[in-house]
Amino acid sequence: MNKPEGLESTTHLLLMPPQEGVLLVQLNRPEARNALTTELLIQLAEVLDQASLNEEISAVVITGGEKVFAAGADLKQMASLDMVGVLNDTRPAIWQKIACFPKPLIAAVNGFALGGGCELAMHADIIIAGDNAKFGQPEINLAIIPGAGGTQRLIRTVGKSLAMKMVLSGEFISAEEARQSGLVAEVTSPEDSVSRAIDLARVIAAKSPLAIQQAKDVLLNAFETHLDVGLQYERKAFTVLAATEDRNEGINAFLEKRKPDFKGR
Ligand code: CAA
């Protein structure tokens, strides 16, 4: 299959042609351990923006290298920013775009996911980790703190005690500890993490895109709201889906003992 228009590899990202609705994006700055420059983040946000508009793409897998997923914010770039530079930094707005990607985003993490690298993995909806993965927020060693959601997403995902330990000590956790704490969904061998993430993305890509979109939105909304409001939000989305052709197709296919043919409407 050809690459859909607008979806080409960039200076810092390798894109594999989408197959079965899944786009694979690989961070590609190995010489700097995939440190996240502003340019890289802009490129990633643009690729996700294109992917969100492209009907051939139902899910995206993001990965890094074999030994380093991403080493965090680019410290050479960060060193040049004073307080006014940080105040005027465009990166929070770029991260916000990445966070708003409406389709499923799966991270396949091998090796180090540190600082902004761990934060990028946490922007994914699901993390599959190779058993060599190490997750950490080592910013404290630089006399700074996480600045791309690391404190907020980590504490909501792994709980207070482990988040405090990671952010205050800078100590890393292993793939298995990350799985036990809920940061990671599955641990595989390092060789298998990307293929497992792609297989999972394909399973998701075969569902009704409308139901997937609503499920992701409602699940993420749980981080933002009280239980009663979240339950109402869930019920509204459930109700909206009752008006879709896909919902009728899904239920009828089950009752008629056949495979559903979802059209995304
Ligand atoms: N920024 C810029 N360059 C980086 C980098 C980073 N975060 N991490 C590594 N590099 C560069 C190194 O400077 C080095 O460059 P040179 O060859 O020009 O000297 C090259 O990548 C190789 O680095 P190492 O020799 O350290 O590679 P390694 O394989 O031995 O170790 C590593 C890999 C464990 C990831 C180690 O590089 C490391 O600890 N990196 C820094 C991790 C870190 O502190 N991250 C937090 C950044 S702050 C942040 O992310 C804030 C935020 O919340 C957004």
How confident is the model at residue 4, as a pLDDT? 55
* Cα 56 from Cα 17, distance rounded (Å): 11
Burial of residue 180 (CB within 10 Å: 0-12, 13-18, 19+) is: middle
Q: Is the CB of 149 under 6 A from ligand 1?
A: no
Per-residue pLDDT tens over the stretch 52-62: 999 999 999 99
Distance 90 CA to ligand 1 centre (A): 21
**CATH architecture assignment, domain 13-205:** Alpha-Beta Complex (3.90)
- Packing angle between helix 116-123 and helix 91-99, nearest 10 degrees? 30
Q: Is 135 in the pocket of ligand 1 (CB under 6 A)?
A: no
171-195 pLDDT per residue, tens = 999 999 999 999 999 999 999 999 9
**What's the rounded mean pLDDT across residues 141-163?**
97
Q: Is the pLDDT of residue 233 over 60?
A: yes
Q: Verify whether residue 111 is a known catalytic residue.
A: no
Does ligand 1 have an atom closer than 6 angstroms to the CB of 122? no
For the entire predicted model, the pTM comes to 0.96
- Domain residue spans in the chain? 13-205, 209-255
- pLDDT number for residue 2: 47
pLDDT tens digits, 92-116? 999 999 999 999 999 999 999 999 9
**The CATH number of domain 209-255, selected from 2.60.40, 1.20.120, 1.10.12, 1.10.3720:** 1.10.12
